Amino acid sequence: MHRVLSEQRVRQVSYVPDSGHARLINLVRADRSMRAIPLTTEEEGVALAVGAWLGGEKSVLLMQSSGAGNCINMLGMVNECRVPLLALVTMRGHWGEFNPWQVPMSQATVPSLEAIGVVVHKVEHAAEVEETVAAAGRLAFNTCRAVAVLISQRIVGAKQFK
């Protein structure tokens, strides 16, 4: 994913800390051409994407499916103003989930995002991640639309707390 974002000249990567994105976050932190920006809530990343675009830069928002619900109102602005947004979403609440609080938003992620105008691409197998992120980035940045890539819990692994 890092290589794809680099090829598409993404300069800002915002995120709420998440173990599913940890490797990508570390690669971004080490890359002098990108800026890793930690957030306190996911909707801050939507506002950051608008500001980045207005400032001439591309950005990507990393989050878990539980954070998608936090962004719905802000995504209306992105949709109405035709600002490109690429969101990489690690899914929780299915495939071996231990935390029942993750299940409701997991079930609501796709319908909620689609209802506010986000194009959704689901990825169930690791071999599909690179090409899906590349295609989603092209779609988002070339057509000024919000596009979310939902990365299955099967790929990132189910969290386990002991």
Three-class secondary structure assignment of 47-95: HHHHHHHHCCCEEEEEEEHHHHHHHHHHHHHHHHHCCCEEEEEECCCCC
**Predicted pLDDT at 80:** 94
162 assigned to some structural domain: no
The model's pLDDT over 93-140, given as tens digits with 9 standing for 90+, comes to 787 767 778 778 888 899 999 999 999 999 999 999 999 999 999 999
CATH number for position 127 = 3.40.50.970
16 assigned to some structural domain: yes
161 assigned to some structural domain: no
* Phi, psi angle pair for 88, to nearest 5°: -110, 115
Give Cβ neighbours of residue 80 (< 8 Å, ≥ 6 apart): none
145 assigned to some structural domain: yes
Work out the pLDDT band at 91, boundaries 50, 70, 90: confident
109 assigned to some structural domain: yes
Q: What is the mean pLDDT of the chain?
A: 92
Q: Is the pTM of this model over 0.75?
A: yes
Work out the pLDDT band at 23, boundaries 50, 70, 90: very high
How many domains does the structure of the chain reveal? 1
| Residue 37 domain boundaries | 2-155
130 assigned to some structural domain: yes
104 assigned to some structural domain: yes
Tokens linked to 17: 């800390």
